[in-house]
A and B are shown apart, each in its own frame.
Chain A
Amino acid sequence: MKSRKVLLFWCVVLGLIVIMTAFAGLFSTHAPNDMDMDKIYVPPGENHLLGTDHLGRDVFSRLLEGGKVTLTVAGVSVFLSLVIGVLYGGISGYVGGYVDVVMMRFLEALITIPSLILILAFQAFMQGGMWSMALIIGITGWLVTARIVRSEFIRLKEAEFVKMAIMFGTPVWKIIFGHMLRNSVPAIFVVTLFNFAGAVFIEVSLSFLGIGVPPAIPSWGNMLYYAQNDILIGAWWIGLFPGIMIFITILSINFIGEALKDPGRRRLNA
């Protein structure tokens, strides 16, 4: 029962972050891009909850707005990689045979390449807005999903109820969607959750390197990018808070994923 409470706690934390950032306009005290040159590098205090940055912008409001950007990029990219992963893994697992061997060898080769390097290469000529970022992260992040879907499909193909369904002459699409895909949902959900954490990590890393989301749009990574210089003059609050937000977000996702991964919890053990 204890682990259930832990799970609930982290779900609430993540939910709070998502709600706070999604409705950033309601919670923020200033407009995220409002500059006030008289009040640069104001430490956290009354008027500015978490201080201001090098252009006198309110860190708290930018934190919420930045979270919206970061989580949106991560969400869209994860959805994209989910679709690609399910298609690739599903085909590989369902068809089997030589198709499976070839597809899996190709996948193994792709997994060997550090995905960040692939993304860097794409970024070299696609430096656009946040949507192109989401696209790039999505089309490089489906590998693990495909692997999981494939192994689930192979496992389920041998399950008795699927064999029975085939025997009864159930249409193929019904077997694929109704029997196999539906029963892989728990596993797919967990891997997607971890993917989401990974996508947040990548967006933050790229923006931090200065080659991610354009500087005009606030994101957690962008804020950290500028914090590199601010920290040298002692403005610690600009770098500290976005990092804490990233940390808590990824932490809660990891704990939720860990709790769900527990095989005893899995409804289906075919």
Chain B
Amino acid sequence: MSVKWFGKRMVMGTIVLLVISFLSFFIMHLAPGDPATAFYGGNAQTLNTAEKERISRAFSLDRPVIEQYGLWLKEILQGNLGYSSKEGRPVTVILLERLPNTLLLFGVTLFFIIIGSLWLGTVAGMQKGSLWDKGLSTISIATSSIPSFWLGILFISFFSVKLGILPSSGTGEVGGDGGILDKLRHLIMPAAVIILTHTGIYARFLQESIKAETSKYYVMVAKANGVLEREIRKGVLRNASIPYLNYIGMTIPSFFGGSIIVESLFSWAGLGQLLVKAVMMKDFPLIMGGILFTGLLVVFSLFIIDLVMYAVDPKLRKGAYSR
């Protein structure tokens, strides 16, 4: 059963990546002007007709679109994302340089969001009708309505301009003067902004799902039979965590989107900031590569969440959900 389940997930992931590659290729293809101009950006005016033709042939731009897509896909599968039209370096190299920073920010924020929301959500969900319960419902909506980058601006104005204790931008080098501490100092504000604006809504989801679970019949029966409160708690939490995990999986794409803006605000040298810069410079190969790469990251993290869900949910292992 499990092999089939994993197979299904893999196929779905592959389809998603294909759609993404298709979109990123055709969005760029739709760009106005002839592709040679698009690839050369601002320098295109200096090219004469013969040169343009040569470029078109060199990049197979004279072939039919579908064939171009096929050729492009083939190159990508071999790890060749082309060359950045502004920096002249391979896109893969540029993206891989930025990857650790994005993963660091993503990992740290997600870790604290999960820890925080598990704690808050459990406390609030278990005490139905308490101050915790009502407070979290309201506060989570409030915090999720704050634009994260605006909170970032406020943070910069307070911690960097007024108090001068935290750097307003940059990534920090582990190998530099400050060592790991310097990196951490740079990480605090971007991470804090994302954590503060996201934890509430995840906690609320867990809280709701715990509340729904505690009102189920089996909990009442367990209570009536004198099962230890601790044991019931464990069972409820386990069952409630499945929709919660599902929710995390569902929101990961928008989570990535949000981190793009925070990265740009704090000049955190990650993929998001790179992508925004690439859009402003109209560096098309880099944009295409960046989109694909982000898609890959999303699919990969969804896969990890699937694995966790698989471990938590025995129904999944027994194949209860297979259609």
Residues on A facing B (Cβ under 8 Å): 105-106, 108-118, 120-125, 197, 201, 204-205, 208-211, 224, 227-228, 231-232, 234, 236, 239-240, 242-243, 246-247, 250-251, 254-255, 258
Cβ of B149 and Cβ of A205 under 8 Å apart? yes
| CB neighbours of A231 from chain B (8 A) | 153, 156-157, 161
CB neighbors of A among B19-37 (8 A): 19-20, 23-24, 27-28, 30-32
| CB neighbours of B130 from chain A (8 A) | none
Contact with A along B225-261 (1 / 0, CB 8 A): 0000000000000000000000000100110111011
22 A-B pairs with CB atoms under 8 Å apart are: A109-B18, A111-B253, A113-B23, A114-B260, A114-B298, A116-B261, A117-B290, A118-B23, A197-B145, A211-B276, A224-B150, A227-B153, A231-B156, A239-B150, A239-B153, A243-B153, A246-B147, A247-B145, A247-B146, A247-B147, A250-B147, A255-B141
| CB neighbours of A112 from chain B (8 A) | 16, 20, 253, 295, 298-299, 302
**A254–B176 CA distance with the chains assembled, in angstroms:** 45
**A224–B154 CA distance with the chains assembled, in angstroms:** 11
Cβ of B275 and Cβ of A125 under 8 Å apart? no
Cβ of B161 and Cβ of A114 under 8 Å apart? no
Cβ of A108 and Cβ of B291 under 8 Å apart? no
Residues on B facing A (Cβ under 8 Å): 12, 15-16, 18-20, 23-24, 27-28, 30-32, 38, 141-142, 144-147, 149-150, 153-154, 156-157, 160-161, 168, 250, 253-254, 256-258, 260-261, 264-265, 275-276, 278-280, 282, 284, 287, 290-291, 294-295, 298-299, 302
**A115–B251 CA distance with the chains assembled, in angstroms:** 11
From the candidates A106, A114, A227, name the one contacting B256 in the complex (CB within 8 A): A114
With contacts A114-B298, A116-B257 taken as known, whether A121 is within 8 angstroms of B141 at the C-beta atoms is no
Cβ of B153 and Cβ of A224 under 8 Å apart? yes
Closest CB of chain A to B295's CB: distance in Å?
A: 6
**A232–B164 CA distance with the chains assembled, in angstroms:** 11
From the candidates B154, B260, B298, name the one contacting A113 in the complex (CB within 8 A): B298
**A239–B265 CA distance with the chains assembled, in angstroms:** 13
| CB neighbours of B258 from chain A (8 A) | 116
**A250–B197 CA distance with the chains assembled, in angstroms:** 13
For the A-B complex with A117-B257, A251-B142 known, give 7 more contacts whose Cβ atoms are closer than 8 Å.
Answer: A125-B31, A224-B150, A228-B265, A231-B157, A234-B157, A239-B153, A246-B150
Cβ of A121 and Cβ of B287 under 8 Å apart? yes
| CB neighbours of B27 from chain A (8 A) | 118, 121-122
Those 5 A-B pairs whose CB atoms lie nearest each other, nearest first: A116-B257, A243-B150, A114-B257, A125-B31, A109-B19
**A123–B32 CA distance with the chains assembled, in angstroms:** 12
**A224–B146 CA distance with the chains assembled, in angstroms:** 14
With contacts A108-B12, A231-B157 taken as known, whether A254 is within 8 angstroms of B149 at the C-beta atoms is no
| CB neighbours of A111 from chain B (8 A) | 250, 253
Cβ of A250 and Cβ of B145 under 8 Å apart? yes
* Residue in B closest to A122 when the chains form the complex, CB atoms: B27
Closest CB of chain A to B98's CB: distance in Å?
A: 14
* Residue in A closest to B299 when the chains form the complex, CB atoms: A112
Cβ of A209 and Cβ of B261 under 8 Å apart? yes
Cβ of A114 and Cβ of B141 under 8 Å apart? no
Cβ of B150 and Cβ of A113 under 8 Å apart? no
Q: Identify the interface centre among A117, A123, A258: most chain B CB within 10 Å of its CB.
A: A117
* Residue in B closest to A210 when the chains form the complex, CB atoms: B280
* Residue in B closest to A238 when the chains form the complex, CB atoms: B153
